[in-house]
Amino acid sequence: MEQFREIAPEPIELPDIDFAKYSLIVGQHVFGEPRYSLESQAVETGTDALTLNLVYSEFCGIAPAMVAPYYFWSIYDKLPEYEVNVNITTF
């Protein structure tokens, strides 16, 4: 919880999470334009790594030409402490 609180910007109030029972995955991905919406995310467990699968849909129409950071996070039942690989799919 201390590490979680260190990275969360103020004034966000964080829930109490029992990290003995749950795992938290937090990350950021940068798209070249701000017109995506996160549709789904799921974790696959392998023998020595985890794969976080993120699926984004693209809004139709014109978007400003700018770099757009997207943040993602989720709480899962306790996962093994493996390296996390991220797989991003857009449609």
| pTM (two decimals) | 0.75
Model confidence over 21-40: pLDDT tens digits?
999 898 888 888 888 889 99
* Run of H or E residues at 76: strand 68-77
Report the pLDDT averaged over residues 48-55. Answer: 95
Q: For residue 73, what pLDDT is reported?
A: 85
Q: For residue 66, what pLDDT is reported?
A: 79
Mean pLDDT score of the chain: 87
